[in-house]
Structure 1
Amino acid sequence: MALVLSPAGIVLHLRDDKSWIPHPGCWSLFGGAVEVGELPAEAVLRELQEKLGLDEVACRPLWRVVDTHGDGRLLTIFEARTPLRPDQMVLTEGQALDAFEYDAALELKLAPFCRHVLERYLLESQRA
């Protein structure tokens, strides 16, 4: 999963409102499954290109955690920095795309795991 940071703020997408997907109608980070033979760092770059059209992105791993609010998978969380703003990105999955300051992002209806990631990122950023 990637916490995408742009000059406009934290970039999130509004998940489709379909009952069969996890956390429908919630704002979320970007991510997807690692394909066979792929490393997590390769997967996150591929997912960001597929879901946002991002080619200019610098990723660094932050931490690995188990998604206890979802299917229990071990996830690698990346910080992904891009010079692009949401209006320069092409969303291919979800209902909407926008950027938010930290406080505004935490006021959104977020997927629980994404809320946890944002809260942890903010806490660790304040310590640095």
Structure 2
Amino acid sequence: MHSDTATAEKPFTARGAVAVIANRRGELLLHLRDDTDSIAWPAHWSLLGGGADGDESVADAIVRELDEEAGLTVPDLVELFEIHDAHGSGQRITFFAGTWDGDETGLPLSEGVKLQFVAPADLDILTIPPFIRDGINRFLAERPDRPSRTRGRPAAAQ
């Protein structure tokens, strides 16, 4: 298990991107990382993504990473926010969100152990890097399809 107190060796200026991909049932596509010491967060459930190459933008990086890691194209990706992976890669990670309703078991996974859609209620039982968990929780709290307290009330009452 990766220690939360480890010091990142990569420079703070390194940039990366991950994608929170949801299906119409509200499940999130998670990626079980390889169990090898040569990567950040080995044997953890994470989101698809990776580092930006050279002067590549994070928007270009996430499109490339989704294709390289899983042969996946998500046309409706939107940029959400950024979180620093202080205890893993050391990168500033930009979170993107999009939707995809395919069968994850048929994707040609080139890195990691497996891909799986997971219901938000089941996330607590998985080993997820803290910065990824924080990003997923923020996404779930802020997503526009989340029921709000004012939805369904007459306009005058809002």
The answer for the alignment partner of 1:11 in structure 2 is 29
Quick check: which one's helix share is greater? Answer: 1
Q: Please tell me whether Structure 1 or Structure 2 has the larger radius of gyration of its CA atoms.
A: 2
* Alignment-mate amino acid for residue 103 of structure 1: A
Percentage of pairs with the same residue = 32
For the pair 1:112 / 2:116, whether they are aligned, the reply is no
**1:68 Cα deviation from its structure 2 partner:** 2.3
Between stretches 78-87 and 98-107, larger displacement belongs to 78-87
The answer for the alignment partner of 1:84 in structure 2 is 102
**1:127 Cα deviation from its structure 2 partner:** 7.3
**1:64 Cα deviation from its structure 2 partner:** 1.6
Q: Which has the higher contact order (CA 8 A, sep 6+)?
A: 1
Q: Deviations over 1:41-100 (max 9, x none)?
A: 111011001111012432000012222232332121100222323123221111111101
1:63-78 aligned at under 5 Å gives the runs: 63-78=81-96
1:1-128 aligned at under 5 Å gives the runs: 1-7=18-24, 9-125=27-143, 126=146
Unpaired runs of 5+ residues, structure 1, are none
Unpaired runs of 5+ residues, structure 2, are 1-17, 149-158
CA distance in 1, matches of 2:121, 2:62: 25
